[in-house]
Structures are given as structure tokens and as C-alpha cells.
Amino acid sequence: MNRIVEKFARLKREGKKGFIIYIGAGDPNLEVTRQLALAFDRAGVDVLELGVPFSDPLADGLVNQLAAQRGLESGTTPPKVLETVAAIRNESQLPIVLYIYFNLVHRYGVERFINEAAKAGVDGLLVLDLPPEESEDYEVLMRNAGLCHIYLVAPTTPDDRIEMIVKRGTGFIYHVSREGVTGMQQKVSDTISQMTAKIRAHTELPIAVGFGISTPEQARLAASKSDAVVVGSAVVDKIARFGKSGDLVTKVVEFTKSLVVAIKEG
């Protein structure tokens, strides 16, 4: 069974909420990415999203744009990200999703990339700029490789399109709780309950809420309205702050544990 599917099935049985962390692969380098993944697993993170660095990350706010830039500067490429995932798999079965732009997949070769991602130990892809209307061949290839194809639903997504998107997604549905790009916010969106209800009307897939969730308090609130919470920019900001220090992993995991407690224990 796919690790993402298995993880959410276990969380449901245990009556627990999921915690998904996003970091930029190769920020500050891929060895640190590997170390962080293993530390996140030990800390209680349920799914890891690895952002594959891209020169034009249009869905990302400044914090994650800078992480992508640092990843590119450290020499991170899609093949090297897959090598890092394979290295993580030597020690961990933490479900891993690649957060990636379609240009990179297309350049690599769609079928080749999907097959090599599966072989490396990737569990799902979240292709930011590939709309479901144009992804039939992609979905077939993903199913054949045993990978989850994860789609986004935004606050501005029309009701009829929500139905179409969520019926085609697998693994979980990622609800983007705010309009615009990723980034830390002062408060959680007040439309989460309304949007999760709309999504839930068309699917039994877990609903993960992300974009703008930055503190344990915000994570706790978002968890009460969804099946899982995604935290990205706040963690990436810690990596940027401690990137040159020897205790980067310790500092980032310390913050991560505060989020785990908030989401798991409410």
C-alpha cells in the first residue's frame, strides 16, 4: 500500500490528525535535507513535502522563493532530490511528497520522472501548475507507478470545479486556505470550515489545510477543522535563520515538536 494512504488510514483508526511539513530540498544542502527528514520522522511528523527547487516558483511567497534559490545555489537538481529520497529510505518510511512545478517534470520526461520517483521511494507528487483538466495521461502514469497525485483546492475554486478536482485526486486533498502565495500569516483563514465542508461533500479523502499556518496555536485551530495541517514557511524560515549554525537540525526540530504537540494533543 502507498505510504500516504497507509498513514492516513492509521491516523483515522487512531482518531488523530495528520501533520505535514514542507521544506525546500537542498536548503541549505541535501545532506541537511536528509538529516531533517529523519529527525522529522522521529519527532512525529506524518508526511514530508519536499519542494524541488525551481527558478520561477510562482505559487511561493518570499520565504519559500529564497529557499528555492538557496537550493539551486547548493546544486540541487531533480535527480539529486531523488537520490536524497533514496538515502532517506535507507532509514525511514516517512511518506514523502514532492512539491514540484510541471516544467521540471516535463523537461525530465513525465513517464521517466514518475517511474524514477517511485523507484527512489517517493509516495506522491503535488504538481503546482498542472490543472486536472490537462493531466489525464499524468494520472494514468501515476496510478501505474503506485503514486498519489495530489491536487489543490483554493478558496476561489468554483463549486463545480471542486467536485471535479477532488474526485480525481488521490492520497489527500490539499486545501489552500488563503488566496495568493505561501507565507506566514497573523491569523488562520475564517473560511476553512466552509471550504472543508464543500470538499467533504464530494470525497472521503483526507483534507489537509495549508498556506499561512505559522504557530502552534494556528496549527491547533486548523487541525480542529480538517484532517491534517501543512506547515511550510514557518519551518523554512527557521532553516534560513539557523542555516549556517551547527545546531540547525536541533533548532528546527524543537519548533517542529511544538507543532506536533498542538496538532496531536489539541
99 forms beta bridges with: 51, 126
Residue 109 has a pLDDT of: 97
* Total domain count, the chain: 1
C-alpha distances in Å from residue 238, one per residue of 33, 88, 207, 245, 249: 13, 21, 26, 11, 10
Residue 180 has a pLDDT of: 46
Q: Quick check: is 256 in a domain?
A: yes
Residue 238 has a pLDDT of: 96
Residue 264 has a pLDDT of: 93
- Closest listed residue to residue 223, CA positions, set 78, 81, 19: 19
* First-to-final CA distance of the chain: 29
60 is catalytic: yes
What stretches in the chain show pLDDT beneath 70? Answer: 178-189, 266
Q: Quick check: is 116 in a domain?
A: yes
Q: What percent of the chain has pLDDT over 70?
A: 95
Q: What nine digits make up the cell of 178?
A: 488563503
42 SS3 class: helix
Q: What is the H or E stretch that residue 146 is in?
A: none
20 SS3 class: strand
Which member of 6, 46, 56, 60 is catalytic? 60
Q: Quick check: is 10 in a domain?
A: yes
Q: What nine digits make up the cell of 164?
A: 471535479
- Residues of the domain holding 176: 3-261
Q: Quick check: is 266 in a domain?
A: no
Domain at 209, CATH number: 3.20.20.70
Q: Quick check: is 117 in a domain?
A: yes
CA distance 36 to 31: 9
Q: Quick check: is 241 in a domain?
A: yes
Provide the angle, in degrees to the nearest 10, between the axes of the packed helices 110-120 and 136-145: 30
Q: Quick check: is 192 in a domain?
A: yes
pTM: 0.94
Which member of 27, 46, 49, 227 is catalytic? 49
- C-alpha 211 chain-centroid distance: 10
46 is catalytic: no
